[in-house]
Chains A and B, each alone.
Chain A
Amino acid sequence: MPNVKLTYFNLRARGEPCRLLLAYGGIKYDDNRIPPPWDPTSTWSTLKPTTPFGQLPILEWDGVEICQSMACARFIAREVGLAGNNSLEQAQVDEIIDVIQDLINTWVKFYFAKDEAALKNFADVTLQTALGQLEKKLDSRGGQYFVGNNLSWADLHVFMYLGDLDKAAYANYPKLTSLYERVGAVPNIKAWVESRPKTDL
């Protein structure tokens, strides 16, 4: 069993991809949570200069530090067998990850800018367009899983993203809805979602 510690804020946000993958793999780890930067009790201002790139999350794996949420998650995905089974499948997984990350990164900018008009356009247009494209892609792969007709990090990442939306947002996409339910039923994923700290983001 590897010695694992994940340091991130007490949020799902950019730490949750790693947490879901670790849960799936049954890997016990130190879930080291720092109060978010906007919390008055946060230690982030003193911690930040000590970090390799002034950012979180940081994954420690058997004494080695890895930064950048996607590098950490992709590493764990490889360790737990969810990264794709050959070079082409790995690219297919990464494609879906990047689609979701584009959505998250766009939304985050609008959210912290408190741009209500942009957030509304995102929800009504950008998000719905992307969900339609994801539904079509899932269908083209056989409709059960995004890559290789078996569970991969791509499915976990889409599950994570849909879980942060209102059910109504993806109600018109039956294959995505089925995928969400089936990934959510995987025992370790189900147990983690039920037991994890409840946070706004």
Chain B
Amino acid sequence: LTMPAKFPKVTVKYFDTTARGETIRLILVHAGQDFKDERLTFAEFGALKPSLPFNQFPVIEIEGEGTLAQHMTICRYLANRHNLTGHTLKAKAEADESVDALNDIVEKIIPIFLTPGDDAKRELVDKALPDLQARFKTLEKRLESRGGQFLAGNTLTWADLHLHHIVHNMLAKCLATEALASCPLLTNLNERVASLPNIKKWNADNLNRNKQF
């Protein structure tokens, strides 16, 4: 079995935000893949909506292969394509479990993320913080039980990239980074993902993007 030298080129279609699109981008960025990063306005999305497989964003277009929808499916497909799902069945399951747990947390963060204004965000965060801290603490214990270095298979997987997106983009934008207060392993893991050269450059280059919401 040998890896193909080139993969079909991917166009990512999403809004100009991180939310449910960024982990897709991070997987492609980490894999060093040139991809088309299309960011559409609400009006442009509205025009495109009827033609989308499930009338939703994000979607990706894979050169020569067609369109793929559903955020997690897109992530998992690209992660499998680019050696980011671990090397065993068990590791893949561990990655999926971690992502599912993270998505449970994302559902609690999304309403805060979408609320305009720092004061309104702060008020919602204060109410949600004990619950968020407890949920991250549970994930911290799971990480510890897996050896403490990575969320799945003791190797970098898309679960770690998803964690980084949630902490770096969503928690930060919601002013809720104290959600990781008692989680030294998750904090360290997030920092190590942030220091990966491609991710580091992407984050620095995109400091002034993601303005839509």
Interface residues of A (CB under 8 A from B): 24-26, 80-81, 85-89, 142-144, 148-151, 175, 178, 181-182, 185-188
Q: Would you list which residues of chain B between 146 and 161 have a CB under 8 Å from chain A?
A: 147-149, 153-156
Are B3 and A188 within 8 A (Cβ)? no
Given contacts A148-B83, A181-B195, A188-B147, 5 further A-B contacts (CB under 8 A): A85-B83, A87-B1, A178-B197, A185-B195, A187-B188
Pairs A-B, 3 closest by C-beta atoms? A142-B32, A26-B147, A86-B1
A149 lies within 8 A of B31 (CB):
yes
Main secondary structure of the interface of B (DSSP, over half): loop
The answer to whether B156 touches A151, judged by C-beta atoms less than 8 angstroms apart, is: yes
Give every chain B residue within 8 A of A186 (Cβ-Cβ). 149, 192
For residue B148, which residues in chain A have a CB less than 8 angstroms away from its CB? 26, 187-188
Known contacts A149-B32, A149-B82; A81/B153 CB under 8 A: yes
User: What count of chain B residues pass the 8 Å CB interface test?
Assistant: 25
Contact residues of A: prevailing secondary structure:
loop
- For A80, the chain B residues whose CB sits under 8 A away are 154
B30-71 CB contacts (< 8 Å) to partner A: 30-32
Question: B198: CB under 8 A from chain A?
Answer: yes
Given contacts A26-B147, A149-B82, contact A85 B154 (CB under 8 A): no
B32 vs chain A, min Cβ distance (A)? 4
Chain A residues, CB < 8 A from B32: 142-144, 149
Given A150-B156, A151-B156, A182-B195 in contact, is the A81-B147 Cβ separation under 8 Å? no
Tell me whether B192 and A88 are in contact (CB under 8 A). Answer: no
Q: Using Cβ atoms and an 8 Å threshold, which residues of chain B touch A175? A: 197
Cβ B153 vs Cβ A182 within 8 A: no
Query: Whose C-beta in chain B lies nearest to the C-beta of A82?
Result: B155
Q: Which of B1, B3, B30, B154 contacts A25 (CB 8 A)?
A: B154
Partner of B2, one of A86, A144, A149, A178: A86
**B195 cross-chain contacts in A, Cβ below 8 A:** 181-182, 185
B9: chain A residues at CB < 8 Å are none
| Chain B residue at minimal CB-CB distance from A83 | B87
Q: Is the CB of B147 within 8 A of A149?
A: no
Cβ–Cβ contact B196 & A144, under 8 A: yes
- Check A188–B198 contact: CB distance below 8 A: no
Closest to B196 in A: A144
Contacts of A148 in B (CB 8 A): 3, 83
List residues of chain B with CB within 8 A of the CB of A142: 31-32, 198
A24: which B residues are within 8 A, CB to CB?
Answer: 149, 154
State which of B84, B155, B188 has its C-beta within 8 Å of the C-beta of A81.
B155
